[in-house]
Copies of this chain bind each other. A is one copy, B any other.
Amino acid sequence: MSTFTIHTQKKEECIDITTRVAAALEEQKISTGLVNIFVPHTTAGVTINENADPDVISDFLKGMRAFVPDSGFKHAEGNSPAHIRSSLIGVSLCVQIDNGALVLGTWQGIYFCEFDGPRTRKVQIAFYAT
């Protein structure tokens, strides 16, 4: 298992972590298997989406804001929308490994999703060889 730290800069943002996951895989010398990417937080998440046009990610964040109302909740910290977005997107993601590489589609990138930043965050990566 390896862990890395992310310092988010905004209230809501998505950070491409594909290169960091691939670098952790390279150290493992695993040919075939599975990697689990896990976010140990309750107001953040991890997802896969397009890594070409940055408008896709800004539209994604806009969409996430649009359908979770920003007010009307009880939790005193005031960040319930971020908690809800975390459960909708999820904090655990599995990606297949083949020929020693992540098997991702042409346009896919792995994104850490910050929904209540800026904060210092951790990402846990664990590999399972077959």
Residues of A at the B interface (CB closer than 8 Å) are 1, 32-34, 36, 38-42, 47-50, 53, 55-56, 58-60, 62-64, 66-69, 72-77, 80-81, 83-84, 86-96, 98, 103-108, 122, 124, 126-130
Contact = CB atoms under 8 A, between A and B. Distances in A.
B75 A55 contact: yes
| Copies in the assembly, this chain | 3
Nearest to A103: B124
**A interface, over-half SS:** mixed
Given A67-B68, A92-B94, 8 more contacts: A34-B126, A47-B90, A53-B75, A56-B80, A59-B80, A62-B73, A103-B126, A127-B130
A74 B55 contact: yes
